[in-house]
Amino acid sequence: MSIYVTGDKHGTVEIDELLPFYYTVGKYLTPEDHLVIMGDFGLLFDPCLTEREQKWLTWLSSMPWNTLFIDGNHENFTRLDHLPEIERFGNSVGVVSDNIFHLKRGYIYTIEGFRCFCFGGALSLDKNMRRPGISWWEREIPSEEEMARGWQSLDQVQWKVDYVFTHMAPNLVLIELCHKKYIGAKLKLAHVPRDPVAIYLNTIVSRLSFRRWYFGHLHVQTPPFCIDVVPRKCFQALYRLVVPIEEGLTSSGSLPLKEPQEKSLTQILLQSQSLLDVIDNHGDLLNAWLKYGKTLDGRDVMSFQRLIRRATPQNMEIAIENAQKKGYYYLLIALKMEYKEMTC
């Protein structure tokens, strides 16, 4: 039995980023395994079920694992709130299919023997660009009842859980990510106090005992990191990658500053004759670089993009196949994303 976690999938926009996970890991899983999406699931987003949504829901339902998701801010809450409900994992869940379930705000679920506190929702900074009831819903902000439920659920377990799954992060985590340059360009420090969900989670974090807190929403992928409050708390921001829940559990340190990468990788990328060449000769290095989310360094990104632009669609297909055969999961997902852009 295994639990895997990932970030926002935004329905038909990014759900195909689960394909590399399926090809490398997922096809070996069983109904005893679980994949948890940290909000913005989005496959129930349109006013009514569309053909494209149905295609991906059918695909996801055919996977050997169970898919669980908390809600984010970009969800159609009209549809989510009308899902049939059953009791699963010790509390009420919304049922999308036999193996896709919505984990509701403020409940603690027992998944593979672990107590997991779940709380979705966040403030949409782009809500002025959206249409109420069409692409934005007031229900993105949790109700007083849901917030009270969260406190009551934690009271019942003496404020001790194994994992926390949320869409938004607590304020103190947002401040840490801003200071360490992970979200400075996307979320200014002045915006941090605006989100009522972040404020609510901040009232929980100092009192709650947990092994790791996973969250999405910010569209960044970080290594696991700890913040020195008492007692020490460990977190991880998730986006495109799928990671096993226990990965690096005992080795988390403070979050490193985002600094420019050493020139060696840039030089390797610039000197490589082709994308296939770099996969054959430096695939391990490139895969590790992508694994730890170091693609924010401009020189390395430009060098990588230069290789991509020189590749034909046929070469990209071969590169994807080679990365898949060699088990370069993080490189594979990057190539799949670039191939999607190339063929749109």
Residue boundaries of the structural domains of the chain: 3-244, 263-343
- How far, in Å, CA of 222 to CA of 199, rounded? 21
Tokens matching residue 75 = 């969800």
**Tens digit of pLDDT at every position of the chain (344 positions):** 899 999 999 998 889 889 888 988 999 999 999 999 999 999 999 888 899 999 999 999 999 999 999 999 999 999 999 999 999 999 999 999 999 999 999 999 999 999 999 999 999 977 877 889 888 999 999 999 999 999 999 999 999 999 999 999 999 999 888 888 787 644 555 556 589 999 999 999 989 999 999 999 988 888 899 997 767 799 999 988 899 997 656 567 888 776 654 446 777 777 787 888 888 888 877 887 777 654 445 566 777 777 888 888 888 899 898 888 888 888 888 888 788 777 65
At residue 296, the pLDDT reads 43
pLDDT for the residue numbered 2: 93
CB neighbour list of residue 276: distance below 8 Å, 6 or more residues apart: 315, 318, 319, 322
- Rounded CA gap, 35 and 93, in Å? 15
Angle formed by the axes of helices 263-271 and 275-291, to 10°? 160
φ/ψ of residue 253, rounded to 5: -115, -165
Q: Residue 167: name the closest of 229, 213, 232, 230 by CA.
A: 213
Q: Give the pLDDT score at 328.
A: 84
Q: Are strands 3-6 and 34-38 parallel, antiparallel or unpaired?
A: parallel
Burial 179-190 (b: 16+ CB within 10 A, else e): ebebbeeebeee
Q: Count Cβ atoms within 10 A of the Cβ of residue 158 and give its class: 0-12 exposed, 13-18 middle, 19 or more buried.
A: exposed
CB 286 within 8 A of CB 314: no
199: number of Cβ within 10 Å: 15
Tokens matching residue 163: 């994992």
d(C-alpha 39, C-alpha 69), whole Å: 6
Phi-psi region for residue 11, left (φ > 0), alpha (ψ -120 to 50) or beta?
left
**The model's pTM:** 0.78
**E strands along 130-232, which residues?**
163-166, 212-215, 225-227
Q: What is the pLDDT of residue 305?
A: 76
Query: What was the pLDDT predicted at 127?
Result: 80
Say if CB 239 and CB 219 are below 8 A apart. yes
Look at the alpha carbons of 277, 281, 287, 288 in this order and tell me if their dihedral is positive or negative. negative
* CA–CA gap between residue 12 and residue 34 (Å, rounded): 21
pLDDT of residue 103: 98
Q: State the CATH class of domain 3-244.
A: alpha beta
Write phi, then psi, for 228 (nearest 5 degrees): -85, 70
Residue 295 confidence (pLDDT): 43
User: To 10 degrees, the CA torsion angle through 274, 276, 282, 286?
Assistant: 90
Round to whole Å and give the CA distance between 275 and 14.
Answer: 24
Instruction: Tally helices (H) and strands (E) across the chain.
Output: 11, 13
Say if strands 34-38 and 212-215 run parallel, antiparallel, or are unpaired.
unpaired
What is the pLDDT at residue 294? 47
**What is the separation, in whole angstroms, between the first and last Cα of the chain?**
37
Alpha-carbon gap, residue 218 to 77, rounded angstroms: 20
Q: State both tokens at 179.
A: 């200071």
For residue 321, give every residue at least 6 positions away whose Cβ sits within 8 Å of its Cβ, in sequence order, or none: none
